[in-house]
């Protein structure tokens, strides 16, 4: 029980308190990570390592070389302690949570409830509803994003503004909301559970109001995959016809309404993806890389970060180091693809949901800078949950079966 409580505390701090300083540069997330590390050592007696971490740590070593070459060693150790260390502890602790305690439901419920809370806050911030402001101040979760606060003080139309929610930036908000949205379908347990669906809908609405296009459209796309695998693939012809009819009916009724309302609201969603801006960014980053074989992310950030997984790999780890983390991703995607392509049942449904969540993380990393590369704790935790559950004989979701 002690491990589970501390793990839950760590998850909350790792997700929500990365910028809350309690002693000089030390944040609450780092304190929780140190505490979690001590407990993990007590449980395992030795540090955890596997082939995925080995490949990533080689990349981190090349990251060090790149930082030394560009004179940014202080920034490197800040990221090493603030992100990579925390991500490693999250990975290790999640492996223990499953293999020793068979309690991944703690992670699932934590992700869903954090996502629910964040979705409500995001909606309120977008609609100028201050009902939770004093509560957020009490929890030290009030918005700190200067751009957002500036626009809010000028009463700008928030449908044009990306919303930070409980996180320091809208990018992180969209990233974590997408993960929570996909994970919430674990409550379905390969069946139709109305109460669980309510949670998913609320988080999806929050994801829309976040106004981060990549995570929102990825969430909708992966929702289609979940619905197809759960209610269509492998079913009888009668069920397939019924499912197809329902999907077509929803599409006919909902899609035109969404497009019309999106245009009327003139929201950030209706502006579309900035293809030309991204193409120019990728081209400029590629040219920069041609002249900097050792990389140098801290120098490039003074201009603009790459916003792409592969470019980030080479910019952070150099031409050679980047190959190691790219190799790690492709090794990860192999079992992910196998789970998504093979028959899914109630017995392995939770593993499938984690696989889909990791696909969402990978997709989002292609247009943003949040990924396993930068030591994103959520990305490594989801991978650990998928891997440990897939390797387990019991892959079902535990807890609250009478209600969800």
> Which pLDDT belongs to residue 232?
79
Domain boundaries, the chain: 2-390
pLDDT at 264: 43
How far apart are the C-alpha atoms of 149 and 146, rounded to whole Å?
A: 5
Task: Tell me which of 14-23, 34-43, 140-149, 390-399 is least confident.
Answer: 140-149
Q: Which residue has the higher pLDDT, 246 or 185?
A: 185
pLDDT at res. 275 = 57
Q: Please enumerate in sequence order all residues whose Cβ is within 8 A of that of 363, keeping only pairs 6 or more positions apart, or say none.
A: 214, 218
Whether pLDDT at 245 is above 80: no
What's the rounded mean pLDDT across residues 16-38? 92
Give the pLDDT band of residue 57 (cuts 50, 70, 90): very high
Give the pLDDT mean for 233-237: 69
Lowest mean pLDDT among 172-176, 294-298, 380-384, 398-402: 398-402
d(CA 292, CA 318): 8
Closest alpha carbon to 136 in 152, 118, 154 = 118
Q: What is the pLDDT of residue 365?
A: 96
Q: Which of 65-79, 138-152, 171-185 has the lowest mean pLDDT?
A: 138-152
Which of residues 230 and 276 earns the better pLDDT score?
Answer: 230
What pLDDT sits at residue 390? 96
Question: What is the reported pTM?
Answer: 0.92
pLDDT, average across residues 213-219: 94
User: For residue 161, what pLDDT is reported?
Assistant: 83
Q: What is the pLDDT of residue 400?
A: 73
- Chain Cα centroid distance, residue 212: 13
Of 53, 263, 268, the C-alpha closest to 174 is 268
Which residues, other chains included, contact 125 with Cβ-Cβ below 8 Å and sequence gap of 6+?
143, 148, 152, 158, 163, 164, 165
pLDDT for res 193: 86
pLDDT per position as a tens digit, 312-330:
999 999 999 999 999 999 9
The stretch 177-193 carries a mean pLDDT of 93
Longest alpha-carbon distance in the chain: 65
- What's the pLDDT tens digit per position in 247-271? 676 666 655 655 555 544 555 655 5
pLDDT higher at 128 or 218:
218
Give pLDDT tens digits for 96-112: 999 999 999 999 999 99
């Amino acid at each position: 029980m002690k491990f589970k409580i501390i793990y839950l505390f760590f998850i909350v701090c790792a997700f929500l308190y990365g910028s809350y300083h309690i002693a000089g540069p030390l944040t609450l997330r780092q304190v929780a990570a140190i505490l979690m590390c001590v407990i993990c050592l007590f449980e395992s007696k030795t540090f955890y390592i596997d082939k995925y971490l080995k490949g990533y740590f080689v990349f981190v070593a090349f990251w060090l070389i790149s930082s030394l070459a560009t004179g940014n060693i202080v920034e490197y150790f800040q990221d090493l302690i603030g992100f990579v260390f925390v991500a490693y502890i999250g990975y290790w602790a999640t492996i223990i949570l499953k293999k020793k305690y068979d309690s991944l439901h703690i992670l699932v419920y934590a992700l869903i409830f954090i996502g629910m809370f964040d979705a409500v806050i995001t909606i309120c911030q977008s609609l100028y509803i201050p009902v939770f402001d004093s509560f957020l101040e009490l929890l030290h979760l009030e918005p700190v994003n200067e751009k957002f606060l500036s626009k809010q003080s000028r009463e700008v139309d928030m449908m044009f503004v990306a919303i930070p929610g409980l996180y320091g930036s809208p990018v992180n908000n969209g990233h974590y909301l997408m993960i929570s949205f996909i994970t919430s379908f674990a409550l379905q347990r390969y069946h139709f559970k109305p109460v669980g669906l309510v949670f998913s809908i609320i988080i999806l609405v929050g994801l829309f109001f976040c106004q981060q296009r990549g995570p929102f459209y990825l969430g909708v796309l992966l929702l289609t995959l979940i619905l197809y695998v759960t209610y269509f693939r492998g079913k009888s012809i009668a069920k397939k016809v019924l499912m197809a009819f329902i999907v077509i009916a929803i599409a006919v009724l909902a899609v035109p309404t969404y497009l019309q309302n999106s245009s009327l609201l003139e929201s950030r969603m209706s502006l579309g993806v900035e293809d030309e801006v991204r193409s120019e960014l990728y081209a400029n980053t590629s040219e920069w890389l041609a002249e900097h074989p050792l990389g140098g992310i801290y120098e490039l950030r003074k201009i603009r970060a790459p916003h792409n997984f592969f470019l980030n790999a080479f910019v952070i780890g150099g031409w050679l180091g980047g190959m190691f983390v790219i190799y790690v991703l492709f090794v990860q995607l192999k079992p992910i693809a196998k789970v998504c392509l093979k028959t899914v049942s109630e017995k392995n449904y939770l593993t499938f949901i984690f696989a889909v969540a990791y696909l969402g993380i990978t997709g989002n990393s292609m247009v943003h800078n949040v990924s396993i590369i930068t030591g994103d704790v959520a990305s490594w935790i989801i991978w650990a949950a998928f891997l440990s559950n897939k390797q387990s004989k019991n892959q079902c979701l535990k807890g609250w079966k009478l209600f969800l």
